């Protein structure tokens, strides 16, 4: 099962973001740790981690990621 991030604006509407999938949850979290500032600059306000289509956790505000 693949992990991926769902990107949303402050109102919870889906927005475009990198279409990247990961084999492991830790890989997805490491990638997010390195990318969250760029995502915020691109207009992403919150993210949810998905495993296939099931939510693992989130939504998580990028404003509290730092």
Q: For residue 44, what pLDDT is reported? A: 97
What is the arrangement of strands in the sheet containing 54-61, beginning at the earlier edge strand?
21-22, 3-8, 46-51, 54-61
| 3-class secondary-structure state, position 56 | strand
pLDDT value at residue 1: 82
Task: Say how far apart CA 31 and CA 54 lie, in whole Å.
Answer: 19
Q: Are 38 and 60 within 8 A, CB to CB?
A: no
What is the structure's pLDDT at 66?
52
pLDDT along the chain (66 residues), means of 10: 95 95 98 96 96 96 75
**pTM score:** 0.91
Sign of CA dihedral 8, 14, 16, 22: positive
């Amino acid at each position: 099962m693949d992990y991926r991030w769902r990107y949303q604006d402050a109102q919870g509407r889906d927005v475009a973001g990198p279409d990247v999938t990961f084999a492991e949850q830790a890989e997805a979290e490491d990638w997010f740790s390195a990318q969250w500032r760029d995502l915020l600059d691109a207009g992403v306000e919150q993210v949810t981690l998905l495993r296939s289509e099931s939510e693992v956790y989130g939504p998580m505000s990028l404003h509290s990621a730092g």
